[in-house]
Amino acid sequence: MVLSQVFGDLWLSQGMKVFGEVNAMSPSILLDLVGYLVTSPWILLGVATLILSLLFYLVAVSRLDLSFVLPIHASCYVFNALFAWIILGEHVSHIRWLATFIVTLGVFLVSWNQSKQSAPVPDRWVTRKPVPALLFLFTVTPYLSKVWLGVFVLVLADASGDIFLARGMKQVGRIGLKSLPELGTLARRILTNTFVLRGIGSQSIAFFTFLCLLSWADISYVRPVTSLTYAASLLGARYILRERVVPGRLMGIIAIGMGVAMVALT
């Protein structure tokens, strides 16, 4: 899951470097961007690799707590920085290296403190007043650069997608090796689950925003700051999915946040 995510990000980053910066959202620019996205071999390779990563992710969240899967997934930041330096030739400063290793520390803390599987999620979908968070976003929007505005949009969309997908896959049930007819039935259950469809829609918005961010900044900068998604998703796992988040996992969230702050300073 992690390696396919990393290489998918790298191919997308290379593709957006070829396209150049997306400076506006006019219809003509959007048409040019869409035409490029469906014809660029780098973008198509990246999308195919990320679809593979998504399949691994769905299997993971069907078997494990979202609050455990997501921080393990965050280890992709170290590989992103490493391969961006080796393959794409990006300059990764000492602060960015330190930040990626702090994020890794957060991943270790969360995985080391893995708790037992939580009780099944109740059928009732629980929400905890999202309006104040949205009002906060609109309040700070005028003061954000386009990169950080994009980061906030991506974090909200991606975290919502994580929670919807986890909720949907808990309804679908544990995924294991099955016969072809059983896999067909399983695929229909997944693709007709309303929470899975909402999750895919939310992550589609996050994906388009991510492409814009890649046209504005290096992957070694973009990926660490978007790790705020993990903190938001883990809070959603705690208060919406009602998963048990042990203190060690909270320490991991804090470490991830520290890494993001250090990257932001660069």
Question: For position 96, what pLDDT does the model report?
Answer: 77
Q: Which tens digit of pLDDT belongs to each residue from 155-198? A: 889 889 988 988 888 888 877 766 777 778 888 888 899 999 99
Give the CA radius of gyration of the chain: 18
Retrieve residue 215's tokens. 């046209």
222 CB-near residues (< 8 Å, 6+ apart): 13, 210, 213, 214
- pLDDT band, residue 41 (cuts 50/70/90): very high
Q: Going by C-beta distance under 8 Å and a sequence separation of 6 or more, which residues neighbour residue 37?
A: 43, 211
The alpha carbon torsion through 45, 47, 53, 56 (nearest 10 deg) reads -110
pLDDT computed for residue 132 by the predictor: 46
Structure-token pair, residue 38: 């469906």
Whether 38 and 209 have beta carbons less than 8 Å apart is answered as: no
Does residue 12 have a pLDDT over 50?
Answer: yes
Domain ranges of the chain: 2-264
In this predicted structure, the answer to whether residue 26 has a pLDDT above a threshold of 70 is no
Rounded-to-integer distance, Cα 168 and Cα 173, Å: 9
Both structure tokens of 104: 């890794």
- 155: its two tokens: 């974090």
Range scoring the smallest mean pLDDT among 42-56, 115-129, 178-192, 233-247:
115-129
Question: How many CA atoms lie less than 13 Å away from 137 in the CB half-sphere?
Answer: 15
116-120, 233-237, 238-242, range with the lowest pLDDT: 116-120
- State the residue for tokens 């602060």: 95
Query: Mean pLDDT of all residues in the chain?
Result: 77
Q: What is the pTM of this model?
A: 0.68
Three-state SS for 116? coil
The CA-based angle 154-78-62, given to 5 degrees, is 60
